[in-house]
Structure 1
Amino acid sequence: MVLLISMLFGLQVLCSWAASSSAQEVPTPLLSPNCDDTAIEEAADLALRQINADRREGYVLSLYRIFSVREHPQEITGSVFYFILDVVDTNCHVLSKKLWKDCEKRPAHETVMTLFSYLISGIRVTQVLLKTAKSLHMHFL
């Protein structure tokens, strides 16, 4: 009886191993869409809106440029976007809760250029890397 149970258990393990190894998907490659693609601009707009909504001090950040864009297509959840944004300060304080598109950019001599790296998945910013000349911070939203 012990031999039969051991054999059945071994057969079950072998079958599950064979099924899992054959079901492994080939990873999809990273795509390089244009920075002015509508989906990229919408993802950048969403990221900037969420970043500005979470800030409690300083000025509303406005988009200066998008670069280093990568897209990782997902079967079920859509695409995950990786990109870097250059942003600048506006004349609107973050407590005003104005959208970045409704604010005037500050003159270049009054602002600090900031570099953000984002991982966008679905409609939620899942990871933000904030890099300024003075510091490097990792935020998880």
Structure 2
Amino acid sequence: MALLILLFLGIQALCSQAFSPPGKELQSPFLFPACNDSAVESAVDVALGQINTGRTEGYVLRLNRIFSVLEHPQETSGSVFYLILDVAETECHVLSRKLWKNCQARHQHETFQQGPF
């Protein structure tokens, strides 16, 4: 039992001496780019293209506004973007396979109001 107490006290003593190495301050891995940045706009284009491609019913979604963006740079390949977007239905049905940029937004009174998810 005495050996266990000594081990515990030794671990406590070692841990109390621990500190961060100098010059290595904690930094957030995220960047906050402007919403009108060209990299953000191309990420939005890719995201909406993938969303619309995966849909099988309804209308093509179009960008209404970019609400929020976080960028997480990767060491080997580009960045990962976390996007919060406001979208609107367009006049183009998803089966038409038109790009969201080529479709006009529908009027608010023409859109289908879906309940909570």
TM-score (norm 2): 0.72
Distance in 2 between the 1:27 and 1:111 partners? 44
Alpha-carbon RMSD across the aligned residues, in angstroms, is 1.9
What stretches of structure 2 of length at least 5 have no aligned partner?
A: 1-25
- Asked if 1:91 is matched to 2:91, the reply is yes
Asked if the contact 1:88/1:106 (under 8 Å) is kept, the reply is yes
Name which structure has the greater RCO, CA cutoff 8 Å, separation 6+. 2
State the Cα distance separating 1:111 from its structure 2 match. 2.3
Percent of residue pairs bearing the same amino acid type: 60
Q: Map residues 32-71 of structure 1 onto 2, 5 A cutoff.
A: 32-71=32-71
Q: Map residues 1-141 of structure 1 onto 2, 5 A cutoff.
A: 29-111=29-111, 133-135=115-117
Q: Evaluate the alpha carbon distance shift between residue 45 and residue 112 of structure 1 in structure 2; reply closer, same or farther with a 3 A threshold.
A: farther
TM-score (norm 1): 0.60
- The structure whose residues are more often strand, as a share, is 1
What stretches of structure 1 of length at least 5 have no aligned partner?
A: 1-25, 114-131, 136-141
Asked if the contact 1:28/1:72 (under 8 Å) is kept, the reply is no
Aligned residues: 92
Larger Rg: 2
